[in-house]
Structure 1
Amino acid sequence: MRIAIFSNNGKSSNVVATKLKQGILKARNLQLDGLNPELVISIGGDGTLLSAFHHYNDSIDEIRFIGIHTGHLGFYTDWRDNEVDHLVHSLQRDNGQSVSYPLLSLKINYSDGGGSDKLLALNESVLKRVSSTMVTDIYINHQFIEKFRGDGLCTSTPTGSTAYNKSIGGAILDPSLNAIQVSEMASINNRVFRTLGSPMIISPEQTVTIIPKDHYHNVLTCDQMMVHDRPIRSIEYQISNHRIYFARYRHIHFWERVSNSFIGLDNN
């Protein structure tokens, strides 16, 4: 099995990466291959895994991921930094087992004659303004829903619903629901301007289109990446036909992850 190691630059992560490389090199059926891997091991935290996902997303359908966390508990990371030997043993006994999660598809249309870009997000995409109120029209399958006024909009995947989406009051979605969520950020609601004021859960058959009134001066993110400063005519969101796959040698249920991450192991 061909394995790539994707690590952040932290001291503890480098120690784990070195030990992991040594273990893989000693194993008969494992080899290091950063260019054409079948499995990518991320060492760091959820941010490192997001970077690994975007680094390899051109071949996302052929790759499984594993996360090792070397700091605070990560939502996507199953292994601790002191379990390298156990992980290598599991790699040697790999039989292709995996669990998959939905991804978010973005199509960004520009108004400067530059066409469009297509991106994938594991967690979320955010459109916002910093210096003034953002005004956008929201459509679902070409049906006008509302004219949003506020700080911004966050569109997330089910696993991404536990990240930025949760911090702005969005719901947590079980990843068995093949859906995306659109949550408002500080919407303006008074007797003149109205929005739904609550998150919207969108089915995989539907497309959410966001059309900003001002094509300029917006900030658009795709996970931790910022889209280059270009005039945005519209953004189309929907569930992607692609999914991310994790090699799961020990399965941790999604809601157990939620409980451990936000409440703690001891709920008494």
Structure 2
Amino acid sequence: MSDRKNVFLFYKKNDELEEKIQEIRKIGRKYDYRLVDHPDDANIIASFGGDGTFLQAIRKSGFREDALYVGVNDGRLGFYTDFNTNDPEKIEMALQSDQTEILKYPTLEVDVDGMQSFQCLNELSIRSQIIKTFAIDVYIDGLYFETFRGDGMVVSTPTGSTAYNRSLNGAIVDPKLNGMQLTEIASINNNQYRTLGAPLILNHDRELVLKIVQDGNDHPIIGADNEALSIRHSHEIKVKVSNKKIKTLRMKDNLFLHKVRRSFL
């Protein structure tokens, strides 16, 4: 990180956290890091909080490829936060040693009706906002695959496979695999309606198109990571793995499998 010295801090201010961050600021000044007031002026963006705060830091700063994102947790487990506000010594060690490495995480590129596009680091979710199931025609690379009926669908990245996708019994995917996963939310399977009924992992060069069947329930909630988007009357949602990758810093002794074992076993 020797060539990156401008740092923006992203966090929700409170007295307890502010005291800990002051200690971390002292460490930064010791190694000539400079705080900036706007993320556009930073080449390091550090979030303080859980994975949700890390996701918000990326979204609010525009999914910058030219910046390095660093997650510092506040004591809670996280897949994106390798550092801890209660362990400033480890943060200082990361600044002066070769015990860290930069990872590049894939993102999803989402287009809604050809009018609005955005990125996701964890997942795209589409859910019914009323107590009624709705139908989605699923196309892969232009070919009709199935008609889904149920509460919704989730498309996740490999890193996002441990989040909402995991709660739906989706597969945990090694982040070294570049692709996306389609997982159902409460699908209907009977003699009349039939869906795959299992998570579907797609290669990075696939294009997934979800066409919402207009049957009176055409107002789904569309979520980008941990944020609900105000998009109404959606008809067609295109999803593909983006060429844009997010760079983040992690400790070499904190591998993905370590995090999975710590979180779920």
TM-score normalised by L of structure 1: 0.89
Structure 2 partner of 1:19: 23
Alignment of 1:171-210 (within 5 A): 171-210=171-210
How much does 1:10 deviate?
Answer: 4.4
Cα displacement string for residues 77-114 of structure 1 (whole angstroms, at most 9, x for unaligned residues): 111222224313533558994111111111111xxxxx
Deviates more, 1:10-19 or 1:128-137: 10-19
Alignment of 1:42-53 (within 5 A): 42-53=47-58
Native 8 Å contact 1:106 1:235 kept in 2: yes
Structure 2 partner of 1:218: 220
| Counterpart-to-counterpart distance in 1, 2:11 and 2:257 | 27
How much does 1:178 deviate?
Answer: 0.2
Unaligned runs of 5+ in 1: 110-114, 264-268
Structure 1 runs of 4+ aligned residues shifted over 3 Å read 9-12, 92-97
How much does 1:223 deviate?
Answer: 0.6
| Counterpart-to-counterpart distance in 1, 2:15 and 2:242 | 36
| Counterpart-to-counterpart distance in 2, 1:231 and 1:9 | 37
Cα displacement string for residues 139-179 of structure 1 (whole angstroms, at most 9, x for unaligned residues): 00110000100000000000100000000110000011101
Cα displacement string for residues 205-236 of structure 1 (whole angstroms, at most 9, x for unaligned residues): 11000000137321100011111142112111
How much does 1:13 deviate?
Answer: 2.6
Unaligned runs of 5+ in 2: none
Work out the percentage of aligned pairs sharing the same amino acid.
32
Aligned: 1:31 with 2:34: yes
| Counterpart-to-counterpart distance in 2, 1:197 and 1:184 | 7
| Counterpart-to-counterpart distance in 1, 2:250 and 2:163 | 21
Structure 2 partner of 1:112: none
Cα displacement string for residues 215-268 of structure 1 (whole angstroms, at most 9, x for unaligned residues): 7321100011111142112111111101111123434211111101122xxxxx
Deviates more, 1:207-216 or 1:156-165: 207-216
Alignment of 1:1-268 (within 5 A): 1-24=5-28, 26-33=29-36, 34-35=38-39, 36-58=41-63, 60-91=64-95, 97-109=101-113, 115-131=114-130, 132-214=132-214, 216-263=218-265
Q: Which amino acid aligns with 1:225?
A: E
Structure 2 partner of 1:266: none
- Give the RMSD, CA atoms, in angstroms: 1.9
Residues 229, 107 of structure 1: alpha-carbon distance in 2 compared, 3 angstrom cutoff: closer
Q: Which amino acid aligns with 1:82?
A: N
Native 8 Å contact 1:139 1:210 kept in 2: yes
| Counterpart-to-counterpart distance in 2, 1:155 and 1:163 | 11
